[in-house]
Structures are given as structure tokens and as C-alpha cells.
Structure 1
Amino acid sequence: MAVNDSKVYAQISSYIGRLIREKFGKGPTSVYVTIKHPYMTIYLKDFLAPMERVLLEKGEKKRVEETRDVLMEELLPEIMCKLEEIVSIKVKDLHYDWNLENRSGIIFGCIPEGTSHEHRAVSPLPAEVEGPFYKEINEASKRGQKMPERTEVFVLNDRTILTKRTGILVNVEKELIKNQFTEELKLTKRPMEKRLIDQGKLEDILGKDIDDTFVDWNFDQDIGYFVFITTSKKET
């Protein structure tokens, strides 16, 4: 079965929605799936459990993030197995992030080499956009830590842009990871890296509005990701 078959996307959407509802007490209203080698994304809309809403109203955002991290780390192996069953590929390095204010979230993963014969490939950025976009991503990384050793950009569809930055960790971060403070590091870096992105500048470069910005890392491999969810510029 070809992975761009809408029935496959519907199966994945149904499974993810049901799983999250079972584990969190409330599932997302909408789940959007995209598979373009070498990545897949699962974008969640309108996802916030009643208890989480109460905690956010009390200023307990960190507690919500910590709880979600615990649950997601438990769910990721199960999700990977189910994706392999549905799509007949072994997705690796599953990641996730949330925008609690927007009640949205992302789950994304890498599709290994050698499993791409049925996959449409990602597209590059338009030539006139590519240079300025790369420059802004690299500058954002430099403002927070250091210039990436390598930056790659993948356009998965007309709304989703994924960036992969390799070689971004500074020595103090590596020491924290070595001493198993990865959760604390992640909770600190999430809001910081999002603040470092000049959203207005990226929107001008892309000619689009950015609805959501997500981040996650593979600390073992010194890799950081941004995922941008965009829409057409609103008329003013």
C-alpha cells in the first residue's frame, strides 16, 4: 500500500487520536498526517485536557509539560510499533512538542534510508527564499548557543517546514546530558529556542504566517529540530 493513500493517513490519524484520548483523557479535535521521505509529521489541533487547562490557569505550565513528557516517553515505543504496522516502515527517532497556548502539538520522526521506494520526497525551499531562511535559522541558533555545523531544511507540504541543525550543543549542555539532566535541559531550551526565532522576519522571508513553531532534539547525536506550521498571509 502506498503511504500517500488517504486511507493510511486516516488510519494513523484515528489511532493517534484514540491513543491520546485514552492516555490524556481528551484527544485532539484534528490530526493531520504527512509522510514525505525522510520525515513524517503528525500535527495535532485543539488538544488540552481539562486538568491541564486548570493547571495553566494557575500558572503551572511546567507541570503540564513535565507530565506530558512522562506520558509521551511511555507512548513513543508503542506509536513506533503501530506506525510500522500501518505504514510498513520503521520510523526512528520519534520526537514531539507542544504549543499549549494554541492547544496544538506535533509528533514527528525520521524514515530510515532504504524504506523510501513508496514515499514522495520532500521539496526544497524556493531559490529566492532559501538563502535568507537558512541565514535566519543559523542566526537564531547562534544567538542561543552556537552556529550549527550543518543546517538542512525540508518542505513536507505547503504548510509544514522542518529544519534539522547538527552540531549545536555547547559544552555545558553536553555535561548536563552526560549527567542525565536531559529533562531539565529540554524544559529550559524549549521556550528559549522559540524566543530566539524572529517570527516576523521568517514570515516576511516565506511570505506566509507562522501559526506554530515546535522544537525538539536528539541530544545523543547533537541534533536540534524546528518544525514550522504556516498558512497563507492574512489580508490586512
Structure 2
Amino acid sequence: MEKTSIQVELASYLGKLLRDHFGKGPSSVYVSVNKPFITMHIRDFIAPMERVLIDQGKLLKVEELRDHLMEELLPEIKATVQTMLGVNISEMYYDWSLENRSGMILSVLSESDHQLKDYPQKEAIQQETAVISEMAEKVPAHMDSCFLNNRTLLIRRDGILVRIEKELIVNGFEEALRLSKKGLEKRLLKHSKINSILDGEVTDLFVDWDFEKDKSYIIFVL
């Protein structure tokens, strides 16, 4: 099966899976394969009950409910992507932009430990990201970034958790920490210089962490 056909089939599969579990599916899913990364950009996705909670200002409740559902769905999504593409996935991340009614699922293949492709603004983007990271937690021990396509910028950070965050995770406050960090980092990133550095307007922003590996991914959609 051709790559494009597989991407369309994956998009259809994810749309149906979300509809079956949330009661309403997205209007579209855009799948991009740029090894070692696979992204699934979900658009126009808000369930009726979620819309009620959002209108009541309960965005964190919606995020929390989605996290619980995604814990169950990610293993199935991982197995399906691996089977359809014939790859091995080592990590999976996801995030939602409720204000834009969008989401992003990122799969990282086992072959991910190599230098990412350069692009003109790479040094400036990573310097600004280091500044933002220091405001939120600390400067990453290592950072890399690349464009997955002409509209999607990915930034990988390693070694960003501070000691108090690690202690919160050990004591069972991982979910509260994740939600708090997302809110803080997204506010800082939205008001950073990254928008002016990039050749295009940022329309979507996603952030997620693997606390066990002390790793994080940021994705900008232009």
C-alpha cells in the first residue's frame, strides 16, 4: 500500500475511534509521516458534553477527562500505527488545544536517536525555547528541533524537570503537574519571540512530557 493511502487510512481509523469513544468525531485528521516522527493533527473536535463544560469555564475538567480516556486509547492507537506502517514506536505523546478545538498525537519511532535536520531559524528558535524553559522550569540539558513539513515545527527537550517536580511525580501528583505545566508553558510560548522568528503565523501549539524519561516535545503548527 502506498504511503499516502496508509496515511488516509490512519486518519479514517483515528476519526472513527474518537467518535466511538467521545460521541463525536473530528471534522478531519491530517497524518504526516516524517521518520522518526508520525503526527496526527486532529481538527474541529469537541464533544457536546465537553462544550457544556467549556462554556462553564471548566477547561481543566475537560483536559482531565480526556487524559483518562487517552490512557485507554493510546495502546490501541500505537498497535494500529505499528501494524499499518510496519514500524516500532518507542514513545507516544498527545495534547489538546480546546480553544481551537484541535489536538495532536505524536508517535516517536525507535530509530529516533539521531540529529534532526537543520533549518534557517534553528539556532534562534532553540535559544528562545531555552529562555522559555528556564522561566517555567530550567534550561534543557539537551534540545533539538526540525520541520516535519512546511507547516509543522517540532522541538525536543531532554532534562528539564526540577527536583520539586520529580518529587511531585513520586508522590502521585503527576496529573496535576502535567495540567499545570501545560497551562504555564503554553502561555509563555504564545507570548514569546518564536512567532516573529518563524516565517508564518502560529495557529496551533501543543506540549507534552514523558516524566519517566524527563523528555518533552513542543509542536507548532503554522
If the length of structure 2 is used for normalisation, what is the TM-score?
Answer: 0.95
| Equivalent residues in 2 for 1:24-43, closer than 5 Å | 24-43=22-41
Question: In the TM superposition, what whole-angstrom CA distance separates every residue of 1:169-215 from its partner, at most 9, and x where no partner exists?
Answer: 00000001112211111011111011111546212111210001100
Residues of 2 paired with 1:23 and 1:9: CA distance?
21
State the 1:123 CA deviation: 3.7
* 1:180 alignment partner AA: G
Tell me which residue corresponds to 1:124: 118
Tell me which residue corresponds to 2:131: 139
Residues of 1 paired with 2:190 and 2:56: CA distance?
29
Which 4+ stretches in 1 moved above 4 angstroms?
none
- Whether the 8 Å CA contact 2:128–2:192 is kept in 1: the answer is no
Residues of 2 paired with 1:200 and 1:171: CA distance?
25
Residues of 2 paired with 1:194 and 1:224: CA distance?
13
The answer to whether structure 1 residue 174 and structure 2 residue 172 are counterparts is no
Identity %, equivalent residues: 43
Tell me which residue corresponds to 1:220: 212
Residues of 1 paired with 2:186 and 2:135: CA distance?
12
Question: In the TM superposition, what whole-angstrom CA distance separates every residue of 1:25-56 from its partner, at most 9, and x where no partner exists?
Answer: 11110100111111110000000001100100
| Equivalent residues in 2 for 1:68-147, closer than 5 Å | 68-113=66-111, 123-126=117-120, 129-147=121-139
State the 1:130 CA deviation: 1.7
The answer to whether structure 1 residue 190 and structure 2 residue 200 are counterparts is no
Residues of 1 paired with 2:152 and 2:118: CA distance?
12
| Equivalent residues in 2 for 1:48-59, closer than 5 Å | 48-59=46-57
Give 5+ residue unaligned stretches, structure 2.
Answer: none
Give 5+ residue unaligned stretches, structure 1.
Answer: 115-120, 231-236
* 1:168 alignment partner AA: I
| Correspondent of 1:211 among 180, 203, 215 | 203
Q: RMSD of the TM alignment (CA)?
A: 1.5
Equivalent position SS for 1:80 = helix
* 1:125 alignment partner AA: Y
If the length of structure 1 is used for normalisation, what is the TM-score?
Answer: 0.89
Tell me which residue corresponds to 1:9: 7
Tell me which residue corresponds to 1:18: 16
| Correspondent of 2:152 among 133, 145, 160 | 160
Residues of 2 paired with 1:122 and 1:147: CA distance?
19
- Whether the 8 Å CA contact 1:123–1:156 is kept in 2: the answer is no
Number of positions where the alignment pairs a residue of Structure 1 with one of Structure 2: 220
- Whether the 8 Å CA contact 1:97–1:106 is kept in 2: the answer is yes
- Whether the 8 Å CA contact 1:37–1:122 is kept in 2: the answer is no
